[in-house]
Structure formats: C-alpha cells, structure tokens
C-alpha cells in the first residue's frame, strides 16, 4: 500500500515550479524561513497533490498569492463555483469568478478541483423558493451540471459532484433534491457530469466520513451500489474539519481508505482544517500539529490518497471563527503567513516519505493486533431480570474530558462516582449503573450536557450510542432491536436492557463496547467518566473496548473485535532524578480496577485507597511518578507482596518481562534484571519516583508491554486491594494480561 516515489524532475514537470523558471526554486523558497523544501515539491515526489481552497479576493493579497504559488499545487474554489454564484438566475450563468480562479491556476501550473455541483446549501433563492415538479427539478439540475462542467471541460481535473448527501446517522439528508427527485438525483448527477466531460474525475464529498462511522458506512454502501450499476463515481472525498483537542484515529481512517480502495476509488482529503480553542496557547498549536501530522502520514502512506487540500491557506482568511464560536487558527500558516508547528509537522512527514525514512504503518488488521486490554465480562443470567450477584461490577475511572489528567481527586470523588455491570440472557444485554452524584443537572437544552449515562455498542461496522439523561429512558435512535432504561427515584441506580433482533442467543459473542457516566455541576459537562482511557470520541464510533458474553464452552476469540487506546509516555527533554521534574508533564492515569475481586473491581465506599500514575522516557530510561492516598500504611508483613506497595511490569520488544516491586518507603527489591533501577518515596509515603533502565533507547511511537499496580493491606493479614489501570486477573507477574504504553 505504500506510496511509490516518482523522480524529482518529473514531479516538478508535472506540477510546475514557483517562478516558472524551469523547475528552479526561487530565492524566497531557499530562504532560512523555508529551510526545508516547499510542500508541493515534496508532495509531488510521492504522487500527492497539496492544495488549498481560495477565493478570488484572496489573490489580491500579495502575500497570499506568493504563498499559494510557492507551496501548493492545487486549488479548490471555496465558494465561487457553487450553485448560487455560477447560476444566480434560472436562465443566466455567471462564470466570471470561477474563470478568474481557473486562469490563475493554469497560469501557475496548478490543478483545479471544482466544488460543488450539487449541495443543499448556497443555492440561489429562485431555486429554493420554486415549487418544482420532479421533472422540472431534474431538468434544472441536468442543465446546471452539464452547463457548468462543459464550460470548464479540459480545465477542471476533478469535480465534487455531490456534496453532503447523507445526514449524521447515515440516512439520506432531507434536501430540495432528495425531497423532490428522490435518491436517484445522486446517480443522475454523476451520469450528467460524465456526459459533459468524460475525462473529469468525479467525486462524492462529505464530512465526518474519514473513519469507520455510521455515516461513512452509509457512504461506502451507497457508492458501492452505484459502482455496481456502472455509475461513473471515481473517488470519495472526506472533508476533515477537525478540532485540535480530539486525536485522529488513524487505524479507523486507514481501514476506511482500504475498503474504498477495494472498490477501485481514489480518496481525497478535501477540506482539512484543525480548529484550536481561543484560550489554548502553545499546547493547542502542538495538538493541532499532531492532527495534521496524522493526516499527512496517512496521505503519504496510501497511494489511493492523491490530494491533500486545506480549507484555506492562512488564518487571515478562515471560515472557522465565524462558524465556531471560541475557535480559530485552523490552518498551517498564521495571519502573518508564518509557518506554524502544523506546517513543519507536515513538511517533516513528506520529507521522510521522500527520503524513504518513514517507518509509519497504520494498524488495520485487527485480527493480528495483540489484545492489550482484556474484554469486560458479561455473565449469563437464567432470566431477563438483572441479578447483582451474577455480574462483574467495573468502575467508571477515566475522565476523558481532561486529556492530560484523567483522574479524579478525593474531593471530586465525593461529587461523582459510579460503577457498572452487564450480563445477558438470550438476545438481551441486561445491565446496571450505580451512580453517586451530589448535584443532578437535567435541564440543559443540549442532551449531552446533562447528567446522563451513555452506552456504546459496535457489531462489525455498525455502532449505536444509547443515551439516558438521569430520570429518563434512552433517547430514541435507529437500532435493530429494542433498548429500554429505567432510573430509580433518587437517580442513584439505572437499569437497562438492549435487545438485538438479529440474535437468538449472545453466548460466546464479543461486541465492541464502552460506557460513560457524565456529570455536569455547572454550565457544561465537568466530567465524562469511562472504564477506559481515551479521547471522548465514543460518539464517533471510536475507541471501544470489548464485552465478552461468557457462558458454557464460550472462549474469548484470539482476534480482538476492537482495539481501545493505549496509555502514553511523554518524551522528556533530558534525564531526570526526581518527581518534581515531571510535575508539569505527562499523562496522569488512575489506579481503578481491583483485580483481587473478580465480582466487583471497584473500591468499596468508605475505603480510603486512591492513586494515580504517569510515565515519561528519555533515551533508554523509563521514569514514573505514583501518587498514593491511603489512610493506613502496612509494611511489616513478611511476604513483600502482602505489604502496601507498587509493582511495575515492563517488557520491551521480545525481551523477557520484568517485575519491579517497591514496598512503601523502600527501594525496588533486588531482582536478576541486568539494567539499573531505583525507587524513591517521599517521607509521607504519598509519592513514589522511579527510574528503570531499558535494554535499548525508546523510540517515538514505540510500544512497550506494561502494567502497574497499587497494593493496599489495611488489616495486616493480606492484601485487600491490588489496583490496576485496567481490568484483569492479577496475573501480570506471569507476563500475562499486560497493557500497552506508547512512547509519545
């Protein structure tokens, strides 16, 4: 699947040069500011076009014009080829603005993508206000498409023929075209465009279709039917209007690219921008750069992706602030046309790809992915009545609204806490949520901003999100079955059932699964607690764990159906010697799952044990900080593991797993490990700093098999708690059920 390089001279010939001087770079391009090669030259060598959406007015800005020419090989008219601009009256077309953009592109050896022939927005009033019959509207659409495409025949290489024809749930969007003509308007639009210019490459374009979601599933299925009917659809564009705080699931995007490629389609990233919250400073721009980097890696890796277009060039001219209050700075160049971290990230990716130095390869074959999070266990019931004695309760542990600190303090735990358990009977999931919340909010207009429970289930490429606001049943959704939920009077217990029409018995099945408990004590959600780490994008069908229906002769498949996110280790600028040197960095995660109790993995109300951890790395050293809250510290037991302690389990590559134990107040116990290792507690026994020397340097993106546990023994006889960040069977000391740590 990896892109094949084309010779540099050929690349320059194909896409032109900045100044038209036989492929030579201008002095401006070779200046210190542009120490690396311009994006269009790098991209051309891996058969990738790099583009921007523009308006004719932008070209009057000399800086904009120069930057566009020097960095980009393709343009998309941002608005001026849309229906209301080129067809302002029923019997009159106006191509003046579009012609100006096309002339500019041809003059500077740029490829043009026309946008968009059919859309439900930015249509002229004469069209929207008309009372058209089906035959009349078909004639209008045919005339529009054929006139526009014929006008630009031989000049516009690609067309977004139909834009945003599906709603967010995967149904057909209610538009003037769908209401009057029916779904066949999509097929007709492609056929008419092809008749007008048989050489143009025709695309369907939409937003929120980059990954494996209900909407992208609908697009995939429908485009597949069109291809089978011989309709000339040649590509699918995904817009990729993203936010800096929400990571891109490259595995999900990659899987979608590969299934579209199986249909013989080309893929375009058509409207890329990554908006940043106004109050976010350098950290927001760094997150933005990571999103651009992820997309660039995918575009560089897959030959099927041959166009990467940003929706604008500079933050000086961006639609984001006007549409998304509190957001801006979405592009690779700032208002003064200076390169942002996002630009440099994309440039690095393309440079590595051109040099053949990239080691990036997305994980798409989930059957070969090693399971590093154990499935949650759903036991079988003898009836469809919930039985608390026959479920495993798990904690809501990770506050995914806070990416860098997903823990709750003891004070926050008094405000919101909860646990959940799921069982099954025949074709029904039967579950319960137990909730403790000092303030219940249910009167916000936005459903997700109220106190609620959300349940996420994935079967194959389909997923469903079930939401219940406290005191209410599940909100209605399109689901092939029946889902019901009921709260008790004080909102402390929620019982639910999810019944699947397509199953007679769930025994042995493994579903993609997640569950969240939302808390809102103010103007917006304060907390969104999950049993897994992640980025709060379950509503997009991403980052699910697994739910296994246990029963007689039922065995968990060796092939996971869903791969949740891994934990992250931050890269440190230098070697460190104390916890204080990691206070401002790192991802902080909770200890949450008591693996000593296979019936209830939560901490019992009233038991004072709580902890969190974070990890960083430098060269071949792994560093960690553990914070611990415990009302009684026991360190006098003869067997070390029966004392209050921390255990760290580390396996790098194919090397043997090593277990490091530190009883509170003591260094790590001596082991046969050949590297250096040390542990240092503060005087109160509330904080541990540790350092472990690994066999080889840790590389960015490297995954390390890992686990960490916090042990508590209050009665002096045996451990009461062995808290891990994941569910399991307390067998990490055997090298089993390790989770994963990713070097950021």
CA 51/CA 71 separation, integer angstroms: 8
Q: Are 733 and 722 in contact (CB under 8 A)?
A: no
Question: Do the strands 74-77 and 111-118 form a parallel or antiparallel pair, or are they unpaired?
Answer: parallel
Residue 202 burial (CB < 10 Å; 0-12/13-18/19+)?
Answer: buried
CA 315/CA 319 separation, integer angstroms: 9
CA 599/CA 628 separation, integer angstroms: 24
Q: What is the DSSP string of 406-432?
A: ----HHHHHHEEEEEEEEEETTEEEEE
Residue 662, CA distances (Å) to 46, 456, 539, 675, 679 in order: 51, 38, 40, 16, 7
The angle formed by the CA atoms of residues 215, 219 and 223, to the nearest 5 degrees, is: 175
Q: Which residue among 71, 187, 210, 271 is the active-site one?
A: 271
Beta bridge mates, 289: none
DSSP annotation of 137 reads: H
Instruction: Dig out the tokens for 710 from the structure.
Output: 């916090």
Nearest to 454 by CA among 516, 532, 533, 536: 516
For the question of residue 542 being annotated catalytic, the response is no
For the question of residue 164 being annotated catalytic, the response is yes
For residue 345, is it left (φ>0), alpha (ψ between -120 and 50) or beta?
A: alpha
Element (H, E) at 69: helix 62-71
Element (H, E) at 611: strand 609-618
- Please provide residue 221's backbone torsions phi and psi, each rounded to the nearest 5 degrees: -65, -40
DSSP annotation of 389 reads: G
Q: Which residue among 71, 78, 164, 210 is the active-site one?
A: 164
Q: Are 514 and 532 in contact (CB under 8 A)?
A: yes
Instruction: Dig out the tokens for 731 from the structure.
Output: 């067998």
The catalytic residues are: 164, 271
């Amino acid at each position: 699947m990896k892109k094949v390089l084309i010779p540099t001279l050929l690349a320059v010939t194909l896409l032109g040069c900045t100044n038209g001087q036989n492929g030579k770079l201008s002095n401006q391009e070779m200046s210190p500011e542009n120490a690396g090669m311009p994006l269009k030259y790098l991209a051309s060598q891996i058969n990738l076009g790099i583009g921007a959406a523009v308006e004719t007015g932008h070209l009057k800005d000399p800086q904009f014009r120069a930057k566009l020419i020097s960095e980009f090989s393709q343009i998309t008219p941002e608005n001026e080829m849309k229906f209301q601009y080129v067809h302002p009256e029923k019997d009159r077309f106006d191509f003046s603005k579009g012609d100006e953009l096309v002339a500019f592109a041809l003059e500077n050896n740029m490829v043009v993508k026309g946008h968009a022939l059919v859309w439900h927005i930015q249509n002229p009033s004469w069209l929207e206000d008309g009372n058209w019959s089906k035959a009349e509207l078909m004639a209008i659409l045919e005339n529009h498409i054929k006139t526009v495409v014929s006008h630009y025949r031989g000049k516009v290489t690609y067309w977004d023929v139909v834009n945003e024809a599906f709603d967010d749930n995967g149904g057909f969007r209610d538009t003037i075209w769908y209401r009057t003509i029916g779904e066949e308007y999509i097929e007709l639009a492609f056929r008419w465009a092809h008749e007008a210019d048989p050489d143009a490459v025709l695309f369907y374009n939409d937003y929120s279709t980059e990954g494996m979601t209900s909407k992208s599933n609908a697009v995939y299925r429908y485009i597949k039917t069109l291809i089978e009917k011989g309709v000339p659809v040649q590509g699918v564009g995904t817009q990729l209007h993203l936010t800096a705080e929400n990571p891109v699931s490259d595995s999900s995007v990659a899987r979608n690219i590969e299934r579209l490629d199986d249909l013989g389609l080309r893929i375009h990233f058509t409207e890329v921008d990554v908006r940043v919250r106004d109050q976010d400073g350098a950290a927001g721009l760094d997150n933005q750069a990571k999103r651009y980097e992820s997309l660039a890696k995918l575009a560089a890796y897959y030959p099927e992706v041959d166009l990467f277009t940003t929706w604008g060039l500079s933050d000086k001219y961006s639609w984001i602030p006007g549409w998304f209050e509190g957001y801006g700075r979405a592009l690779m160049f700032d208002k003064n046309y200076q390169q942002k971290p996002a630009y440099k990230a994309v440039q690095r990716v393309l440079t590595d790809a051109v040099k053949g130095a990239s080691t990036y390869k997305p994980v798409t074959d989930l059957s070969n992915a090693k399971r590093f999070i154990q499935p949650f266990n759903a036991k079988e019931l003898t009836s469809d009545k919930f039985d608390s004695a026959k479920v495993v309760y798990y904690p809501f542990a990770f506050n995914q609204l806070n990416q860098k600190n997903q823990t709750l303090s003891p004070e926050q735990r008094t405000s919101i806490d909860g646990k959940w358990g799921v069982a099954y009977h025949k074709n029904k999931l039967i579950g319960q949520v137990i909730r403790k919340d000092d303030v219940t909010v249910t009167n916000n207009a936005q459903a997700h901003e109220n106190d609620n429970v959300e349940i996420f289930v994935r079967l194959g490429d389909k997923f469903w999100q079930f939401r219940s606001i406290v005191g209410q049943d599940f909100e209605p959704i399109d689901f092939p079955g029946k889902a019901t939920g009921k709260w008790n009077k004080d909102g402390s217990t929620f019982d639910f059932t999810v019944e699947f029409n397509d199953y007679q018995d769930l025994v042995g099945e493994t579903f993609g699964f997640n569950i969240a408990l939302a808390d809102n004590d103010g103007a917006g959600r304060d907390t969104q607690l999950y049993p897994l780490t992640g980025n709060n994008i379950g509503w997009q069908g991403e980052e699910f764990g697994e739910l296994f229906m246990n029963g007689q002769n039922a065995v968990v498949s060796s092939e996971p159906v869903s791969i949740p996110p891994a934990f992250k280790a931050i890269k440190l600028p230098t070697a460190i010697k104390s916890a204080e040197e990691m206070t401002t960095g790192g991802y902080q995660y909770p200890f949450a799952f008591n693996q000593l109790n296979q019936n209830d993995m939560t901490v019992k109300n009233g038991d004072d044990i709580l902890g969190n951890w974070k990890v960083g790395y430098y060269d071949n050293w792994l560093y960690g900080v553990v914070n611990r809250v415990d009302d009684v510290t026991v360190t006098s037991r003869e067997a070390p593991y029966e004392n209050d302690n921390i255990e760290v389990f580390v396996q790098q590559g194919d090397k043997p797993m090593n277990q490091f134990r530190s009883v509170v107040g003591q260094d790590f116990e001596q082991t046969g490990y050949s590297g250096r290792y040390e542990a240092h507690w503060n005087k109160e026994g509330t904080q541990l700093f540790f350092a472990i020397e690994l066999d080889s340097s840790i590389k960015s993106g490297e995954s390390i098999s890992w686990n960490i546990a916090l042990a508590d023994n209050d009665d002096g006889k045996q451990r009461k708690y062995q808290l891990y960040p994941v569910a399991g069977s307390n067998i990490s000391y055997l090298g089993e059920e390790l989770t994963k740590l990713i070097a950021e």
